Amino acid sequence: MPRFDTVSFLSDYGLSDEFVGVCKAVIRQVAPHVTVLDICHEIPPHDVRAGSLALARAAQYLPNGVVLAVVDPGVGGERRAVAVEGGDGESYFVGPDNGLLASAVAMTGGAGRAVSLTNEEYQLPAPGPTFAGRDVFAPAAAYLCSGVDLLELGEPIDPLSLLPGILPLTRAEDGKLVGEVLWVDRFGNVQLNVDPEELAPFGDAITLRFGDQVRTAVRAHTYDELGPGQIGLVVDSYGLVSVALARRSASDELRLEAPSEVTLEPAAG
């Protein structure tokens, strides 16, 4: 009996090649009842950090089912291919054991059971080792949706042995707050790893220091509150502080991108 009807799929494959479509076709052949939701396929190539953060941002909005995530610069090498039970078995995560899955798994309640995907009966014959998305991960996701037990897919592993993700924390230095750029969205808004509460003691005008630049920003609720050329600090849709300009790219104009360090302090005067 089918167990899940949804695979949520994230990758760095892009859409100019056939990689995403082939993975979906493999899932369809094994589990024709499944709907594949595309989270994102434009993660920068090989950027595990960016993929991990994107998956963590999306995790709370995904339906129960299987999450298939492939950002795998070590494909064919020593890294493990894994499937991980999240929370109470309401979701499973399939992908490389390189830190990509860890933050999203944690957001679902942590890892329960986990396996290394070693059972070739649930894989495609591979002409080469470089397309694990097609040959290993997509079949595993489909078989889990079809009701195959996790432990049938490979050797059990200790969930504590899974490579952790990297979520940088802010630090306080001499009355200043040192943060980091997590992500730049397509509009050029620059998300920092800064909680709005951390800025409460700083007032409404805040000095930003990054690279060789020193700029002043104002706290704002919306982009429309910002005047022409005015830099704003806005609480974004994920509850973190973003550096923004109204109708312009803050990233382009300030030359600010991940994982740049940004120091924040109360503006003088």
**Which residues in the chain are classed under CATH 2.40.30.90?**
171-266
The CATH T-level fold of domain 6-161 is: Rossmann fold (3.40.50)
**Residue 269 has what pLDDT?**
64
**Which residues in the chain are classed under CATH 3.40.50.10790?**
6-161
Q: What is the CATH number of domain 171-266?
A: 2.40.30.90
DSSP annotation string for 8-59: EEEES--SSSSHHHHHHHHHHHH-TTPEEEEEES-SPTT-HHHHHHHHHHHH
The structure's pTM equals: 0.92
Q: For residues 178 and 137, what is the distance between their CA atoms, to the nearest angstrom?
A: 38
Q: What is the mean pLDDT, run by run of 10 residues, along the chain of 269 residues?
A: 89 98 99 98 97 96 97 94 92 97 93 96 93 98 97 97 90 96 97 96 96 96 94 97 96 96 91
Q: For strand 176-184 and strand 171-173, is the pairing parallel, antiparallel, or unpaired?
A: antiparallel
